Amino acid sequence: MKNKIKVFRAMHDLTQEDLAHAIGVTRQTILAIEKGKYVPSLDLAFKIARHFQVNIEEVFQYDEPYMSVDID
């Protein structure tokens, strides 16, 4: 799961601490999400997206595993 939290934080001039405080998690959680160490729950992902007033897909991108398709 990729995300653009860092980009959105920069756009809104927010520190990790500010964002963490605003959505009710610890700064370490924001850092872990940004670094891809932790995949947030749907609830938390929506909270983050809502905080930046964008759709969830704009913040989080699901890495589709490569699937081979047989073409006849």
Partner 1 sequence: MKKNSFYVLTGCIALVLLAVFWYSVEIHNPIPIEIVFVAGIAVIYFARRTVTDLIEDERSAKITEKAALRTFQVFWVLFCAFSIGAVMQILYIPTFPRDKFLDHPPEILGPRLMGYVQLGLLCLMIFLYVAFRIYYARKYGDWETDEE
What are the residues binding partner 1 (CB under 8 A)? 15-16, 24-26, 28-29, 31-32, 34-35, 37-38, 40-41, 43-44
Report in angstroms how near the CB of residue 28 gets to partner 1 at its nearest.
6
Q: Round to whole Å and give the CA distance between 21 and 37.
A: 20
- Rg of the chain (C-alpha set): 14
Report in angstroms how near the CB of residue 18 gets to partner 1 at its nearest.
11
Helices vs strands, H then E, count in the chain: 5, 2
Report in angstroms how near the CB of residue 9 gets to partner 1 at its nearest.
10
Our CB check for partner 1 shows the closer of 19 and 66 to be 19
Q: Round to whole Å and give the CA distance between 38 and 1.
A: 9
